[in-house]
Amino acid sequence: MTPETVVAIRKKAVGYLLSSITEKGIPAAVEGRFRNVIFTRDYAISGLLLLEKPQNGELPLLLDGIRRSLETSASHQGTRFNPVTSETPGEMPHEIHDKDSPQDRLAEIKDNGGPVVEVNGHLEMVTYWARDANALWNSLFSRYVQATRDWSFRDRLWPNFVASQRWLMKYGDIDGDLLIEGLHNQWWKDSETALVDEGGRKPIDPIAALDVNSFASLSDLESAWLYESKENYATAQALRIRALKRRELINQLFWMEDMRLFAPALDAEKKPIRIATSDSVFPLWVGIADKQRAQINIGRLMEPDLLTLWGLRTRSRNSSQYDQDQYQNGPVWYQLAAIAAAACEKYGMKQETVVFDEAVFRAARELGFPELSGVDDQNNVFSYKEKGVPVACNLQTWVLGGVLNRTAS
């Protein structure tokens, strides 16, 4: 990929992301079924990717979108117990739909029994179906304050931050073992089939997802910085110790030596769900693995059953449950290669970084910035469809964030 091509890709990504920022913040998608919908996970991962690099002069404008996003999630932070939406006190919302969100999509969700309400003649929905939202919000809140030194913003949202911290300890870690547990579809892979094992068995809840717990470790470290900024050194030290313990647990319980991968989740008995996926990008990105294990892990991710010309499959092509047409059991999700490249860069693995970057640039140049696609054994790309209709969002936020991470100077 020539430097000129990379510059052109970046210019497009910047334009799309800046034009998508609303008064609510950064929506999940510029077009498609989640247009103008705020997903805490999506904008938080995008924001974390953006803030890893100084960008190329656009950072002040991007920071404005991050600030608005953090404020929007904080304004909907849980205050009660609501089994319909999964709201609990202190919990950050998973998704926020309002009058500007696609009303036909909300009507469909309502018809299917979803917790959609009518407000002043339009439909809205706020749900809390994610176990990673609090850790991601905390991490981005800290990174934003570090980048801006906006102490008034820190202090204004401090009660939300403290409540979010409390949620992680009280409602996230339900059995006191430092792992965040929850339902099998309340992590980034929110489908019913993503954790079905090679024997066709679905795990018994609660599960502990790899990405959720990796982000919890990151949250501890980032939150420690925030407490230090308030001169609360005792709490900061306690959080750093907790982060190390989480890191040890993830390496001990999730790592599958024979498969050279981290398990995507632990089952209710805290045993790894032994399937080959690309979810290892998350603990690598936040620095869970030591360099030797990271090299082993990244080498495995680069094998052709997981890595395509366009990016990483969500599940190994060799799995008995692999299906390129099934949401999170085989298709390529385009944010994963950028996260893998960022991880390789942090571990000093230059050649591997180039390989993942080439996949990021190739997909951006030839496909745009889609959410996901099916990719067959010959690297042909197919639109993801449900009931025969293409539904994947194009110009998806965390894909744009990944491209901006990988193209920043």
352, two tokens: 């591997």
Domain ranges of the chain: 3-93+128-407
Tell me the fold of 3-93+128-407. Answer: Glycosyltransferase (1.50.10)
What phi and psi, each to the nearest 5 degrees, are found at residue 390? -60, 130
pTM: 0.97
- Indicate the burial class of 296 (C-beta count within 10 angstroms; 0-12, 13-18, 19 or more): middle
Q: What is the pLDDT of residue 33?
A: 86
Per DSSP, 264 falls in state S
Read off the tokens for 248. 């040890």
Which H or E element spans position 18? helix 3-20
- What pLDDT does 409 receive? 81
Supply 133's token pair.
């939202």
Residue 378 has pLDDT above 90, yes or no: yes
Q: 73-114 pLDDT, tens per residue? A: 999 999 999 999 999 999 999 999 999 999 999 999 999 999
Q: How confident is the model at residue 121 (pLDDT cuts 50, 70, 90)?
A: very high
| Tokens coding 256 | 């599958």
Alpha helices in 254-387 (DSSP H): 281-285, 291-301, 335-346, 350-367
> Tell me, what amino acid is at 262?
F
Helix (H/G/I), strand (E/B), else coil: 303: coil
Distance CA 134, CA 157 (A): 14
* Exposed / middle / buried, residue 110 (Cβ in 10 Å: 0-12, 13-18, 19+): middle
